Amino acid sequence: MDGIPLTTLNDGRSVPRFGLGVYHVPPADTARVVRTALELGYRHVDTAQGYGNEAGVGQGLRESGVPREDVWITTKLDDGRHGDPRAALAESLERLGTDHVDLFLIHRPGDRDVATWRTLIDLRDAGSARSIGVSNFSRRGVRVLIEATGVVPAVHQIRANPRTPHRAMQAFHRRHGIATEAWGPLREGRLTTHPTARRVADRVGATPAQVLLRWHLDRGLIAFPKTTSAARLAENLGVAHVRLTPRDLRAIDRMRRRP
């Protein structure tokens, strides 16, 4: 994606810092949405076993004609599969129609996280999951994994946006070399009506969604907003051409404290 920065993970691999999330995209619509996104220029898709739409992601990729090696695909281990992540990933790969995912995450903490993490390390070493990480963990939960195995997650996916940036967690990530992925970057669109987002958007000639997404990129986060609209897909991708000043970024930072 021209104009979209990359993040180099602690395992040396580079991920596009902007993509498409398919949480709550109906399975019947997923192939169309993913195909359209890839045709527009997206090269990063975030799904999960629990979303029930991995097959649609794979179908959309095939229908788009974009080479598999050009697209970063993330999926996440379902909560009920912590005891058999190897089998769960094999099923995901079959649904996606690929021999590997670029990132495999433990979707939520469970009661056997260290054992699950050890299996993800094995899957990474075998090549079926090129990078591995976690989602929705606490700092203590991440530390437990690191202390038990010596392997630092490449990514931690958390809910992060200008209203709830989770700065302490982000600082923890920076200390450990963990990339922060932000789900819910627009808070289901609610942030686009915020007066600050509108004011900055008017000044730079962009939409509120674009300036909020640009804030994520400029603050070093990986973001993947969800939409099923072709027009909104194109609008969101326009983030690549938005430029914010340090003053703009500070104004958006202050959304955390102001209504």
Residue 245 has a CB neighbour count (10 Å cut-off) of 11
Which of 51, 72, 117, 137 does the annotation list as catalytic?
51
Distance CA 12, CA 199 (A): 38
Distance CA 31, CA 63 (A): 8
Strands of 155-159's sheet in order across: 20-21, 44-46, 72-77, 101-106, 129-135, 155-159, 179-183, 222-223
Residue 93 has a CB neighbour count (10 Å cut-off) of 19
Write the CB contacts of 67 (distance below 8 Å, at least 6 apart in sequence): none
The kind and range of the H/E element at 47 are none
Tally of CA atoms within 13 A in the half-sphere of 173 that contains its CB: 27
Which of 170, 209, 206 is closest to 188 using CA atoms?
A: 209
SS3 content of the chain, % helix, strand, coil (to 5): 50, 15, 35
Does 51 participate in catalysis according to the annotation?
yes
The kind and range of the H/E element at 76 are strand 72-77
Active site residues: 51
